[in-house]
Structure 1
Amino acid sequence: MAQTTTSRTTAAPLKIVALGDSLTAGYGLPPADAFPVRLEKALAANGRTPRPVTIVNAGVSGDTATDGLARLDWAVGDDVDGVIVELGANDALRGLDPAVTRQALDEILTRLKARGLPVLLAGMLAPPNMGPEYQQAFDRIFPELAAKHDVLFYPFFLDGVAAERGLNQRDGMHPEAKGVGVIVARILPQVEALVGQAAARRDGK
């Protein structure tokens, strides 16, 4: 056990970029409560990852999927080992054409896969007030793209938090610190799988 712990501690950290919008950036929260920071601490605390992990906050409030695509190349540098893609919430809130959102996310995943980077795609669901037709067109984007590109998939980033008054800020859309804790706890197994893929890639396995 001690030998494993020592080798894990001395190994170079894996660098995972969280590419997202305000839900990643930590809108309305102290920096220490932002999703990437809390996720990195959770990974360190459970000790199940093969290497230490650094989670980079590449969240920009207000970003759509198209905005994320526009900054992809500089947000995800050559030293990155894996990527969490969390985009689409603003597309749905603004009622953007789901075809535009799909095209942008498709291109993001295409570029990341071309670089051989492991990816975890975090899904988003359209608000009910957008109507059933829009909901159906939007919601299917994420599982279909995850299957197309064979990437890890977490169906709904706000699972367990959306519409829960005690877990969200006054705007009803952005999670409070407690809400971020719920998100981290629920998505953690998929992130651990991503880290495993990133470690195998780094080690050339």
Structure 2
Amino acid sequence: MHLRLPAFRYAAARAFRNAALTLICTISPLLAEPLTLVALGDSLTAGYGLPEGQGLVPQLEGWLKAKGAEVAVINAGVSGDTTAGGLSRLDWSLTPEVDALMVTLGGNDMLRGLPPETARANLAAILEAAKAKGLPVLLIGMQAPGNYGAEYKTAFDAIYPDLATAFGATLYPSFFQGLAGGSLDPAALRPFLQDDGIHPNAEGVARIVADLGPAVQAFLAAPRP
């Protein structure tokens, strides 16, 4: 018995060490800092016309956390902002703790009838700056209505898929695709919009988040080079 005791003690110590390492590996992800996602956008991001806690950013963060994602979503939305405005404040929005960027800009360029090439250039500069910082980007697409003409619509709508391909960004095709099953029929959209017919109400945001959330979740979980 005395000759076997040291071996028994060694085996017990080794088993304890292995169990401790397993426990550390299990809980270490829980102790990690949450990811920080900056949502750079306009009134659609800022939560225009909605009670506190019902805008895109708080609803999206709540959805992600309910799915187990450790993430803080920072509201960098400014009502009325164009792509030029978003670009002008990009540097101070991308603080050192930021891990990823979501861009929802272009709607005001389109509503004002600004040249699509200007919006394209500004969004390209945003993506280039994010790339220089090593930040992955989720680019949220926008589509122009037909009242500016077919040429304008074709040029504007192509901005987002073109830039996503050029810069290796992740594309979410259309901000409003979660509303009314993707229908653009004004009658189908009306129950989910505020009285201005442009901005989603709280239920509309919830529908948008239900569709957008899985895309954001997959984007954040994707391996980075």
Alpha-carbon RMSD: 1.8
1:99-118 map, 5 Å: 99-118=117-136
Q: Could you tell me how far apart the structure 1 residues matched to 2:64 and 2:135 are?
A: 20
Matching residue's letter, 2:124: D
Q: How far does the alpha carbon of each residue in 1:44-77 deviate from its partner, in whole angstroms, 9 at most, with x for none?
A: 1112x3xx10000000000000110000000111
CA contact (8 A) 1:126 1:135 kept: yes
Q: Which residue of 2 aligns with 1:14?
A: 35
Q: Is 1:37 equivalent to 2:73 in the alignment? A: no
Q: Please identify runs of 4+ aligned residues in structure 1 that moved more than 6 A.
A: 2-5
Q: Secondary structure at the match of 1:54?
A: strand
Q: Which residue of 2 aligns with 1:168?
A: 193
CA contact (8 A) 1:152 1:190 kept: no
1:1-205 map, 5 Å: 6-47=27-68, 49=69, 52-161=70-179, 163=186, 164-197=189-222
Q: Could you tell me how far apart the structure 2 residues matched to 1:8 and 1:34 are?
A: 29
Shift of 1:78: 1.4
CA contact (8 A) 1:21 1:59 kept: yes
Q: Could you tell me how far apart the structure 1 residues matched to 2:28 and 2:198 are?
A: 42
TM-score for both structures, normalised by structure 2: 0.82
- Ranked by relative contact order (alpha carbons within 8 Å, sequence separation 6 or more), the top structure is 1
Overall identity of the aligned pairs, in %: 50
Shift of 1:7: 4.1
Q: Secondary structure at the match of 2:59?
A: helix
Q: Could you tell me how far apart the structure 1 residues matched to 2:27 and 2:44 are?
A: 35
Q: Could you tell me how far apart the structure 2 residues matched to 1:32 and 1:60 are?
A: 16
TM-score for both structures, normalised by structure 1: 0.90
CA contact (8 A) 2:39 2:74 kept: yes
Q: Secondary structure at the match of 2:74?
A: strand
When residues 8 and 87 of structure 1 are mapped into structure 2, their CA distance, relative to the original with a 3 A threshold, is same
Q: Could you tell me how far apart the structure 1 residues matched to 2:167 and 2:78 are?
A: 24
CA contact (8 A) 2:177 2:208 kept: yes
Unaligned stretches of 5+ residues in structure 2 = 1-22
Bigger helix share: 2
Q: Could you tell me how far apart the structure 2 residues matched to 1:176 and 1:4 are?
A: 43
When residues 40 and 101 of structure 1 are mapped into structure 2, their CA distance, relative to the original with a 3 A threshold, is same
Shift of 1:131: 1.6
Shift of 1:3: 8.5
Shift of 1:177: 0.4
Q: Could you tell me how far apart the structure 1 residues matched to 2:203 and 2:99 are?
A: 29
Matching residue's letter, 1:190: A
- Aligned residue pairs total 196
Q: Could you tell me how far apart the structure 2 residues matched to 1:194 and 1:132 are?
A: 32
Judge which range, 57-66 or 182-191, deviates more: 182-191
Shift of 1:193: 2.2
Q: How far does the alpha carbon of each residue in 1:138-181 deviate from its partner, in whole angstroms, 9 at most, with x for none?
A: 00000000000011110101113353000000000000001101
Q: Could you tell me how far apart the structure 1 residues matched to 2:159 and 2:27 are?
A: 43
Q: Could you tell me how far apart the structure 1 residues matched to 2:87 and 2:49 are?
A: 24
Judge which range, 128-137 or 16-25, deviates more: 128-137
CA contact (8 A) 1:167 1:179 kept: yes
